[in-house]
Amino acid sequence: MLYLYVGIFMLLISGFIATVLVLARLISPSRKSWTKAQTYETGESTVTDPWRPFPVRYYVFALLFLIFDVEAAFLYPWAVVYQDLGLYGFVEMVIFVSILTVGLAYAWKKGALKWV
């Protein structure tokens, strides 16, 4: 019986999304022009090709930020229930932080943190 409600809910959501997309397509103006086809970059004319790829170092910085952001997200709940976990929880978190520390040391040694 529960799956019936979930299925009905998913059908309603799909119908709502389809309705909104169709209405947006019907209501929106569709006049194409050269100005609309240009890339918009903070109100300024583009200087270089907007489709050239970013340097890899941006992605490395983003990945390192994401890794350590997730680490902070895992450390906070662990710190809240630290007393309930005991020695096992402490050892588990030391292993987790150690793995991330080794990864940070590796990135540092390879020069991934240098802004060239």
DSSP state of 28: S
**Does this model's pTM top 0.95?**
no
- Domains contained in the chain, CATH given: 52-116 (1.20.58.1610)
- Rounded distance between C-alpha atoms, residue 89 and residue 12, angstroms: 43
Upper half-sphere CA count for residue 19 (Cβ side, 13 Å)? 6
pLDDT computed for residue 84 by the predictor: 87
Q: Nearest to residue 112, comparing CAs of 71, 66, 57?
A: 57
Is residue 107 scored above 90 in pLDDT? Answer: no
Q: Residue 67 corresponds to which tokens in the numbers above?
A: 């890794």
Residue 3 vs residue 39, higher pLDDT: 3
Instruction: Tell me the pLDDT tens digit for each residue of 28-68.
Output: 887 788 777 776 666 666 677 767 777 777 888 888 888 88
pLDDT score, position 41? 63
Q: What is the pLDDT of residue 110?
A: 87
